[in-house]
A and B are shown apart, each in its own frame.
Chain A
Amino acid sequence: MINIIEVTKSFGSVMAIDNLSLHIQKGEILGLVGPDGAGKSTLIRIMIGLLAKSSGHIDVLGSTNIESVKNKMGYVPQKFSLYQDLTVMENITLIGSLYGIEKQKIQQISQEILTFTGLWQFKNRLAGKLSGGMKQKLALAAGLMHKPAVFFLDEPTTGVDPVARREFWQLLYNLNKEGMTIVVATPYMDEAELCHRVAFINLGQLISCQTPAQFIVAYPHQILELSVESKHINHHIKDCYLLDLHSFGNKYHIVTNDIDRTRTDIEQKLTQQKIPILKLQKIKPSLEDVFVLFTAQGGA
């Protein structure tokens, strides 16, 4: 579907994409994951022809001339980029017409798509007056007008509430079921877990691309989850035998390569400090743990 081979993109002296190769398969949902500034947006923008690559090879839908396949690609940018002073229907009609769709056909398709995205009742509302979640659905609807074969979404659910996020992903799944290839950049690990494959990008390079399950299996360390009542216990246990420590509220993920040794060490320390342990047990690593590890390695 999309072949990216040794693509490089530099902005002046900054390497945004550094010799990156990636193959996107037909019919999959591919997640692009990585810290801010990793190059996710830049990569998407190169694939849809918004930015020109500095070097390397890229072909989309069998064509190296991206301009010629633009009507087979859809795009939802990170920032809402439709016209705030046009209504939902006017925006949809504009984008549909720009893809060369006839007027009568637009009416039929837009009803279908606006119903699908739950925007039909708001069709005469100005886009600027929609909520964040509805705006993203409108962007999605606009991107779908010409029934693209491949759909690119750049952090589409940033700033959207959890319920709207779930609905949005349900829509993506439904589209994918009908055969649409979806490439989605996301900062959320729970969303990444919903993708068929995840490409982890850091500093413009592809670190790894595999299924979420494979990522977790390949995770080289073990995780102990610690629950305590008091917060700020980092300084008590930081000298224990462990590799890394991340706090999530009053839960701690402790990264180690020797579960038993770390467990006894921490139990000892906290008992000394008279801090009761609510829970201390081995858990399955999450994609979030993988993400933290990769980001730390990239930064080192």
Chain B
Amino acid sequence: MIRLRALLVKEFIQMKRDNITLAMMVMMPIAQLLVFGFAINTDVKHLKTVVFDQSLSAESRDLLTGFTASEYFDIKYVVSSFEAVNQKIESGDAKVGIIIPPDLSANLKHSRATPIQVIVDASDSTSASSAIATAQSVGQLKSQELLLAQKGISASAASLYNIRIRAWYNQDFITAYYMVPGIMGIILTMTMVMIMAMAIVRERETGTLEQLIVTPLKTYELMIGKIIPYIIIGYMQATIALIVGIAVFNLPIRGSIGLLYGLTSFFIMASLTLGVLISSLAKTQMQAMQMSFFIFMPSILLSGFIFPRDAMPTLFYALGQLLPLTYYLEILRGIILKGNSITLLWGQIFALVIFIAATLGLAIKKFSKTLD
């Protein structure tokens, strides 16, 4: 106990003196949440659009109104040649080009189909897919209106299938609701894994580990002494993230906040043990940092933070299952957005416990109390 307490005192004194790192750990959740929360918006509206209307008729104006009314397309340029359309899209001034053929009115009168060309800059796939989907539904809607009008039926009476969609847990599709818990998980992964790994490797690099090893200090005491201070840091970051989420993004906490805090400990432990494992493999702080980044990338891409896991190929789905963040995101979104109770989260808890046991076992095995 004397030894463990001395180690903890030392860690806290060092933390207190390292103002920059401490400030980083506090500021990071705030800065990241604000940046990601506001900037990442998967719902892309108001795409700049260039129009080449060869018909210049009442019908073509009606169709274009349909496009602008969807709010997805802002007609910024009206041009009078194909070349001009190409030029606007190539230069990036416009993301979408709409080309209406000269024979639109004539075709409509004879109920002939008219090809309306919509060119989409798909180099940004998110905005492209929302533009394509919207353009298609605008086309269908307009066709339906016209057909019904020709038959003298009013549009509202025409829908025989009335599909009512209810989006649960996030009715208004607020991206921040989905993103904030995700960012909270990402921040914890980044700081916990990297800071833990660096902290131990730094002691090895500066030689202070040598000084610790020659004392009768036990390996487990050394590990506990290193881990406990960072559990506190982890909880501090989680709290800051939640406060920012609630205060800035009106994040609803539908489940028990106590449960959220309780289960967060499993994730913090999992990340810290992963950091310890990295530290036992890395020889230098540089290597520790690189290995940590090797964990971050899949954590961001495969955990379901941005991309839905259900759509992933089997291999990548399986890889995602090896990441603690995958389970923590399910816990976070489950509790925060769905109000899940613990009965629905046992699977995730179990997975995290397995992960902790496996990494800690490996780390202790690798971390012999000698230098070689």
Contacts and interface: CB of A to CB of B under 8 A. Distances in A.
Interface stretch (A83-91, A187-195, A200-208, A274-282): A83-91
Nearest to B372: A51
Contacts, number: 80
Contacts of A48: 214
A11 interface: yes
Given A79-B207, A81-B207, A100-B2, A94 B214 contact: no
Q: What DSSP secondary structure best describes chain B's contact surface? A: helix
Given A83-B14, A86-B10, A98 B370 contact: no
A51 B9 CA distance: 28
Contacts of A71: 215-216
A172 interface: no
B371 A86 contact: no
Interface residues of A, number: 33
Interface string A29-59: 0000000000000000100111110000000
B370 A70 contact: no
B211 A77 contact: yes
A73 B10 contact: no
A81 B206 CA distance: 7
Contacts of B210: 50, 77, 81
B214 A97 contact: no
Contact of A98 (B3, B13, B368, B369): B3
Contact of B370 (A52, A73, A100): A52
A219 interface: no
A82 B372 contact: no
Interface string A99-132: 1111100000000000000000000000000000
A77 B207 contact: yes
A50 B13 contact: no
Interface in B1-31: 2-3, 5-7, 9-10, 13-14, 17-18
A23 B175 CA distance: 73
Chain B residues touching A, range? 20 to 34
Interface in B179-228: 206-208, 210-217
A82 B14 CA distance: 12
A97 B225 CA distance: 13
A38 B18 CA distance: 39
Nearest to B3: A98
Nearest to A77: B210
Contacts of B207: 77, 79-81
B6 A82 contact: no
A171 interface: no
B13 A86 contact: yes
Contacts of A70: 214-216
Contacts of B211: 75, 77, 81-82, 95, 142
B14 A85 contact: yes
Interface of A: 11, 45, 48-52, 67, 70-71, 73, 75, 77, 79-86, 90, 93-95, 97-103, 142
Interface of B: 2-3, 5-7, 9-10, 13-14, 17-18, 206-208, 210-217, 368-372
28 contacts: A48-B214, A49-B214, A49-B370, A50-B213, A50-B214, A50-B371, A51-B372, A67-B216, A73-B214, A77-B207, A77-B211, A80-B207, A81-B206, A81-B207, A81-B210, A82-B208, A82-B211, A83-B10, A90-B13, A93-B6, A94-B7, A95-B211, A95-B215, A97-B3, A98-B215, A98-B217, A99-B215, A142-B211
7 smallest CB-CB distances across A and B, nearest first, come from A97-B6, A81-B207, A98-B215, A81-B211, A70-B216, A75-B214, A79-B207
Given A50-B210, A98-B6, 9 more contacts: A11-B372, A67-B216, A67-B369, A71-B215, A79-B207, A98-B7, A98-B215, A100-B216, A103-B2
